[in-house]
């Protein structure tokens, strides 16, 4: 086996960071090639996710100047997970092993060496895991760690403090290609593959340039996507909540009848009002959760393509 490595890097409006990212990634690939760990056919594969700036023009220029850099351009913006999948599925037919990472240079590129070492030792999947969250604000750290705990609590299998910085062997990529769902949450799907895995810790830095592509509302939507894509436990919890609310309603009715009297008819109204508001909120929450799952079923039954590639530079 030649151990051809592809670094798969999704990009959306990354013209500010792309030149530096290409320089660092190119240096890393050349160092690994010189050390004899990977093949000279290894490449950096940039995936342009329908960027509105000059990202694709920069990728094309990099490819013309140095064949170490390849690129694919999606026909429109399809989101980070679909862009990443497009890159991995393209690399699947060209490489023996692929490493996915973001273009913002927050992930420590030096961890690739340890990932490749674990791969050469026989691991099919190697997860990049943040050692600490020292650069995060308290809010970001609290919500991020709470997200991983919530996913696990809901029955999802995820690697704590792991995003999408990971190594996957060729057979792991082939296994991933068998998953055809439209609602993608790769952090939860990859652990389902079951192949031998390992973790590599690294320190995550600040974004090199540009703005984050994940503001709070997108992070919340991504969290909801992860929970509902991996587990049906929220639906089961609704059953328990329904039983609990029924018992609570019976208890409130007994209290209402006990305190209400012709002499003091007003005493029972606060209890009745609470019961109405509580049950109304529970019903609306239940409808929202059920609707979320029905919406996913609706999208899955349509079987729409997850992305289209408009241009390829390989």
The span from the CA of 202 to the CA of 204, in Å, is 6
| Alpha-carbon distances of 30 from 41, 94, 245, 259, rounded to whole Å | 11, 18, 63, 81
| Alpha-carbon distances of 274 from 43, 81, 279, rounded to whole Å | 63, 43, 8
Choose the weakest-confidence range: 4-8, 110-114, 125-129, 269-273.
Answer: 269-273
**Predicted confidence (pLDDT) at residue 29 exceeds the cutoff of 90:** yes
214 by DSSP, 3-state: which?
coil
Q: Give the contacts of 151 (CB within 8 A, at least 6 positions apart).
A: 158, 188, 226, 227, 230, 231
pLDDT of residue 138: 63
Query: pLDDT (tens digit, 9 = 90+) per residue, 47-97?
Result: 999 999 999 999 999 999 999 999 999 999 998 999 999 999 999 999 999
The span from the CA of 166 to the CA of 125, in Å, is 7
**Predicted confidence (pLDDT) at residue 206 exceeds the cutoff of 80:** no
pLDDT of residue 293: 78
Residue 5 parent element (H or E): strand 5-11
- What does the domain layout of the chain look like in residue ranges? 5-215+305-313, 233-302
| Alpha-carbon distances of 75 from 28, 86, 94, 257, 312, rounded to whole Å | 30, 12, 22, 65, 11
| Alpha-carbon distances of 53 from 14, 42, 206, 300, rounded to whole Å | 8, 27, 22, 32
- CATH class, domain 5-215+305-313, is alpha beta
């Amino acid at each position: 086996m030649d151990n051809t490595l592809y670094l798969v890097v999704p990009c959306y409006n990354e013209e500010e960071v792309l030149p530096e990212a290409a320089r660092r990634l190119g240096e890393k690939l050349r160092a690994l090639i010189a050390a004899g760990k990977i093949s000279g056919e290894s490449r950096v594969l940039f995936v342009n996710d329908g960027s509105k700036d000059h990202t694709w023009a920069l990728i094309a220029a990099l490819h013309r100047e140095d064949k170490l850099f390849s690129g694919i351009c999606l026909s429109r913006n399809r989101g980070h997970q679909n862009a990443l999948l497009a890159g991995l599925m393209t690399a699947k037919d060209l490489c023996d092993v692929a490493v996915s990472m973001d273009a913002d240079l927050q992930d420590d590129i030096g961890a690739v060496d340890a990932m490749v070492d674990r791969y050469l030792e026989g691991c099919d999947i190697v997860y990049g895991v943040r050692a600490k969250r020292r650069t995060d604000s308290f809010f970001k750290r609290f919500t991020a760690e709470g997200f991983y705990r919530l996913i696990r609590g809901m029955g999802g299998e995820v690697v704590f403090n792991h995003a999408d910085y990971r190594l996957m062997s060729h057979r792991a990529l082939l296994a991933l290609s068998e998953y055809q769902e439209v609602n993608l949450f790769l952090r939860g799907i990859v652990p389902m593959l079951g192949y031998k895995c390992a973790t590599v810790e690294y320190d995550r830095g600040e974004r090199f340039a540009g703005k984050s592509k994940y503001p709070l509302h997108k992070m919340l939507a991504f969290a909801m996507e992860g929970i509902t894509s991996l587990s049906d436990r929220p639906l089961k919890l609704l059953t328990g909540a329904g039983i609990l609310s029924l018992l609570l309603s019976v208890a409130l009715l007994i209290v209402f009848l006990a305190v209400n009297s012709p002499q003091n008819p007003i005493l029972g109204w606060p209890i009745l009002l609470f019961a109405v508001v509580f049950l109304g909120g529970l019903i609306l929450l239940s409808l929202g959760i059920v609707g979320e799952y029905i919406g996913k079923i609706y999208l899955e039954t349509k079987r729409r393509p997850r992305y289209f590639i408009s241009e390829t530079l390989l």
